[in-house]
Chain A
Amino acid sequence: MKVLVVTSGVPFIRGGAEILADNLCQALSAAGHTAELIFIPFKHYPPNRIPDHMLACRLLDLTETCGVRIDRVIGLKFPGYLIPHPNKVVWLLHQHRTAYELWDHPMAGDLIHHPDGPVVRDAIRQADRELIPEAKAVYTLSENVSDRLRRFCGIAGEPLYNPPAHASLFYNNSAGDYLFFPSRVTGVKRQLLAIEALARCRERTLVRFAGEADSPKELAACVDAIRRLKVEDRVEWLGLISEEQKRELYANCLGVLFPPVDEDYGYITLEAMLSSKPVITCSDSGGPLEFVVGRQTGLVANPTPESLALVMDALWVDRRWAVAMGEAGRARYEDLNISWKNVVEKLLC
């Protein structure tokens, strides 16, 4: 099949969505299809630029190329997924979040502060409600994304999980003496919450943090907290590490800490499961909650330092339970059929 993967994004910014789009194209090619990525640039401010970009997408024509039919268009991100096509499937990574659940979010909300905000929000919602159902099928990145789509737009979308990069290279070695917290260092991943929890642990729990800071400010906030709460001797701050090091740290940890704010999906949960490790997450973490079964494959805390400290201690004192939950997590990963083969089959059927 000739397949176009259509997405939107901001030039010069490369994040998870861009990597996923590339991986999808590779998986389509590996399955014997001809696939290309169409990237429509997007600028979301001032708010009146958003309808312009929505209209631009509606004006493009991907039905054929040089007289040859394009068999399938797969839309990923707003507003790219609005491009019309008779054989379109949407695999929604997320909608324009500040028009939905982040509308009045104290940090993320942006449209709400602008006089044009409500009108633009309504235009986005109307376009999504009317145009997403044009697709032959609607899939989403996760139950969390499906749930928002159902709640705000009344549209059903089936979660379609994709594996993390190099899934087959993850392994388990031993239940070592540390919890592992791999993530970009930024507010919504809540490294600060983990540091505050660590200060309240009864046990001598050790946490290894890995990942690059989004900004020097974010990094300074964590370093200050570690000093202020006097947990220097129970924190190892690794910064940016290689993929190989990351897998080794997964393989030798006791468990994985992943307590973000309302994550869309979250590869870290899956990487932990592939490494047969239990995951500690929070009740408002979004994506991870689709995979972590409380007290069976990990522990779900309330998003407070006290609650998080309790579950960290609980895991620390019962290593056999930690190992058993890790193994159950690995078994659960297998049961969920998380593979590119499955993704490609669903998106092309």
Chain B
Amino acid sequence: MAQNRGLRILIATVRVPFVNGGAEILAEGLRRELTEAGHRAEIVAIPFKWYPPERILDQMLACRLLDLSETVGVAVDRLIGLKFPAYLIPHPRKVLWLLHQHRQAYDLWQHPLNDLHQYATGAAVRAAIHRADTELIPQAKGVFTISNNVAARMSRHCGLQGTPLYHPPQDAGRFYTAPVEEFFYFPSRINALKRQDLVLEALAQTRLPVRVCFSGPANEGAFEGMCLTLAQKKSCADRVQWLGPVSEERKRDLYARSLGVLFPPVDEDYGYVTLEAMLARKPVITCSDSGGPLEFVVNRQTGLVCDPTPQSLAEAMDSLWEDRERARQWGDAGRQRYGDLRIEWDHVVEKLLA
């Protein structure tokens, strides 16, 4: 699209100081892709602190006060809003690509891992967030989300429509497959929402000598300790490999050699693990409440969707362990599906600038 060459684009997001995660990688990935497409793109990252709840209101107002319409007299052609409350920054040519809303005010309200509802001001702040989102999100020229899961939550809670726009994991071109070895692979940060504990409980209930290799950094030391104790207690420690953080290269090697990939998180927004497994031609076992993965895993065609119980998960693991040929076919079908879904940065850039 010739008229879109060389736009000046700002990516508006928030950052929690000293925390680097998926959102930062995504913002940087988008910036890089926009630059490679011939545009000038920069990230504007507003610091964010969500407690006590009143501070959220202050920061929403701060975002509304910023003016990114132009810089020294030259128009900013496009503002791409990613995270709350930075996506509230006003701009005449704004497009949203929502990573997620402020989940504590929506689907995680009264969730045990969230405390907003426990504050005296919690309900009022939640109402203010709902109102701001409902009134201000529609000001954007286009509303995209990183997944259907994020779009569905927004539709449910705010009555607003968003179009899912999928993007590839980092270094998507470098995933490959290799002959199958005797283990399932579970790569994820080690924390309660990813449910490594559920997998260990399931492992103790398998009929077959199923083995699982876990990798990923632990950002909650207590949870990791609990998992390791659990493995001992259930006497399945000899069938568990606990690698901790691994390099990207090693991760790709583990994907390639695994029999299948386990990814049973709680209501994931999107989930790169599913896509990486598909790129490595591996079937994915996930749960019916896992959110994002369910948009990609076709039950009994590219993987298995089980109930979030140890028993159901154990059955799924046993059935794939037993039938290697089916595992291989589903892995190939997953790779095929990845191609069909057009999960490409070019497509993302095109949509966000249309």
Chain A residues packing against B (C-beta within 8 Å): 2, 4, 10-13, 34, 36, 38-41, 43, 49, 52-53, 55-57, 59-66, 68, 70
Give every chain A residue within 8 A of B47 (Cβ-Cβ).
4, 38, 60-62
How many chain B residues sit at the interface, stated as a range, is 20 to 34
Residues of B within 8 A of A (CB): 8, 10, 16-19, 40, 42, 44-47, 49, 55, 58-59, 61-63, 65-72, 74, 76
Residues from chain B with Cβ under 8 Å of A53 in the complex: 65-67
- Is the CB–CB distance between B44 and A11 below 8 Å? yes
Known contacts A60-B47, A60-B59: does B71 contact A12 (CB below 8 Å)? yes
CA A2 – CA B17 in complex, angstroms? 10
Between B45, B58, B66, B70, the greatest number of chain A beta carbons within 10 A of the residue's beta carbon is seen for B66
Query: Which single member of B45, B59, B70 contacts A59 (CB below 8 Å)?
Result: B59
Shortest CB–CB separation between residue A66 and chain B, in angstroms? 6
Q: A39 and B44: CB pair below 8 A?
A: yes
B300 to nearest A CB, angstroms? 41
Assembly CA distance A60 to B16 (angstroms): 12
- Could you tell me if A10 and B71 are in contact, using CB atoms closer than 8 angstroms? yes
Q: Output the least CB separation between A67 and chain B (Å).
A: 8
Extra inter-chain contacts (4) besides given A41-B66, A53-B67, CB under 8 Å? A12-B8, A40-B66, A56-B61, A59-B65
Residues of B within 8 A of A65 (CB): 16-19, 49
Tell me how far the C-beta of B17 lies from the nearest C-beta in chain A, rounded to whole angstroms.
Answer: 4
User: Do the beta carbons of B71 and A43 come within 8 Å of each other?
Assistant: yes
Query: Are A61 and B58 in contact, with the CB atoms below 8 A?
Result: yes
Q: In the complex the two chains form, is B66's CB within 8 Å of A66's CB?
A: no
Please determine whether A11 and B62 come into contact, CB atoms closer than 8 angstroms.
Answer: no
Given contact pairs A12-B42, A64-B49, A43 touches B17 in the complex (Cβ within 8 A)? no
Which residues of the partner chain B approach A64 to less than 8 Å between Cβ atoms? 49
Question: Which of B47, B55, B66, B74 lies at the interface centre, i.e. has the most chain A CB atoms within 10 A of its CB?
Answer: B47
Whether B65 pairs with A62 at a CB distance below 8 angstroms is no
Q: Is the CB of B71 within 8 A of A13?
A: yes
Check B18–A34 contact: CB distance below 8 A.
yes
What is the CB-to-nearest-CB distance from B76 to chain A, in angstroms, rounded to a whole number?
Answer: 7
Q: How far is the CA of A278 from the CA of B10 in the complex (A)?
A: 44
- Using known A-B contacts A12-B8, A13-B72, determine if residue A60 contacts B46 with beta carbons closer than 8 Å: yes
- Considering the complex, give the chain A residue whose CB is closest to the CB of B52: A61
Of A34, A39, A68, chain B has the most CB atoms within 10 Å of the CB of: A39
Contact A4 B59 (CB under 8 A): no
Q: Are A59 and B71 in contact (CB under 8 A)?
A: no
Please name 20 pairs of A and B residues whose Cβ atoms are closer than 8 Å in the assembled complex, sorted by A: A2-B17, A10-B72, A11-B42, A12-B8, A12-B42, A12-B74, A13-B71, A34-B18, A36-B18, A39-B45, A40-B46, A41-B44, A43-B70, A55-B61, A56-B66, A57-B62, A59-B62, A63-B49, A66-B16, A66-B19
Task: Tell me the complex Cα distance, A56–B69, Å.
Answer: 16
Q: A28 to nearest B CB, angstroms?
A: 13
List the A side residues contacting B10 at CB < 8 Å: 11, 41
B17 — nearest CB in chain A belongs to which residue? A65
- Do A41 and B17 form a contact, CB below 8 Å, given A11-B10, A61-B58? no
Bound-state Cα–Cα, A2 to B49, Å = 16
Q: Which residues of A contact B69 (CB under 8 A)?
A: 43
